[in-house]
Amino acid sequence: MKHFALNGQTRKVGNKAVIKAFRKQGLIPCNLYGQGIENVLFTVSEKDIKGLIETPYSHIIDLTLDGDKTCTVVLHELQFHPVKDNCLHIDFLVVNETKPIAINVPIKFEGHAIGVQKGGKFVPNARNLRISATMENLPDDITIDISKLDLAAKIKAADVKVEKVSVLTDKDAVLCFVKTTRNVDTSAAAE
């Protein structure tokens, strides 16, 4: 999985006015937590974080606080403004190399479905998949071959198998399917 370097400055607990002042300066208030560490409050620049939050890919983040303390983290939660759609708050979770990490990775569909060649329509139903793996085994994305997908067939999360990776998404969640269209219905009636 790709790494992303990020710098932050620690901060003290503040009221709404302090948080508003940070946001006016182009800073996003953040929280860092995880097993075995005390919560750390800090801020990051909106410009620095854009490459991380405006992409469908997940990253392992190498976070440096105050220029000297470095730790490995993942994005846990993002909060956005309901109207302006700018990031208001970010939660980061500390990870280590030995314990599995639960993270969302994007899905890539590959191939041409048989059902589409028969007149159906391919419908992707999910953009990402929740998986768990150790840091060294985390893939950048999950590729799903749809070439054998026939009319009215679907691929569920239970059908996805990746070596050394556990799929956490609900097993019955439909990732994609081929929908029967009117073209197929009329050709079947004519026969």
Taking only the tens place, the pLDDT of each residue in 104-143 is 999 999 999 999 999 899 999 999 999 999 989 999 999 9
Confidence tier at 25 by pLDDT (50, 70, 90):
very high
What is the domain partition of the chain in residue ranges? 3-95, 102-190
The per-residue pLDDT for 188 is: 47
The per-residue pLDDT for 186 is: 54
Poorest-confidence range of 19-23, 95-99, 112-116?
95-99
Count of all residues that appear for the chain in the document: 191
Cβ neighbours of 180 (radius 10 Å): 16
The per-residue pLDDT for 147 is: 94
Q: Using one digit for the tens of pLDDT, what is the confidence trace for 128-139?
A: 999 999 989 999
Phi, psi (rounded to 5 degrees) for 130: -85, 125
Return all residues near 135 (Cβ < 8 A) that are at least 6 apart: 1, 60, 72, 95, 96, 97, 101
Question: 3-state SS of the chain?
Answer: CCEEEEEEEECCCCCHHHHHHHHHCCEEEEEEECCCCCCEEEEEEHHHHHHHHCCCCCCEEEEEECCCEEEEEEEEEEEECCCCCCEEEEEEEECCCCCCEEEEEEEEEECCCHHHHCCCEEEECCCEEEEEECHHHCCCCEEEECCCCCCCCEEEHHHCCCCCCEECCCCCCEEEEEECCHHHHHHHHHC
pLDDT above 70 covers a percentage of the chain that reads 96
Confidence tier at 189 by pLDDT (50, 70, 90):
very low
Residue 100's identity, in one-letter code, is P
Architecture of domain 3-95: Beta Barrel (2.40)
CATH of domain 102-190: 2.170.120.20
Residue 6's identity, in one-letter code, is L
